Amino acid sequence: MSEQHDFDKPRNTTGMEFFDVEGYTVATWGPNPDGKPPQNQVHFLLNISNAIRRNIPPLVMRFRSRRAITELVDLLIRYRDEVWNEDGTHTEWSIKGDES
């Protein structure tokens, strides 16, 4: 389900499009039109800068299991710690990585 990348190996980003995220919304979702339980998914909506002007449709990540969310959170924490120290400064590795 998840894809991890090693920091010491280059990553090819050719053909990828990157978006500036202004914010996000997280909500539960269920099959009932009135929003009544049961909710069986968690939706993570990304608010993209200038999305309408750039003709970008809403980007929603749909999580259908507790495990999927846990995997994402664990990877975000791992990569956060690779880039930033507890005080918000960049790690020694991330600074060296920027120089090459």
pLDDT at 46: 93
One pLDDT digit (tens) per residue for the chain, 100 residues: 556 656 566 677 888 888 889 999 999 999 998 989 999 999 999 999 888 888 888 899 999 999 999 999 999 999 899 889 899 888 886 666 554 4
Of 77, 83, 82, 76, nearest to 61 (Cα)?
Answer: 76
Only one residue has tokens 């539960």, namely 28
Spatial neighbors of 96 by CB under 8 A, at least 6 apart, are none
The model's pTM: 0.71
SS3 state at 83 = helix
Of 22, 15, 13, 14, nearest to 52 (Cα)?
Answer: 22
pLDDT at 17: 83
Tell me the domain boundaries of the chain: 21-99
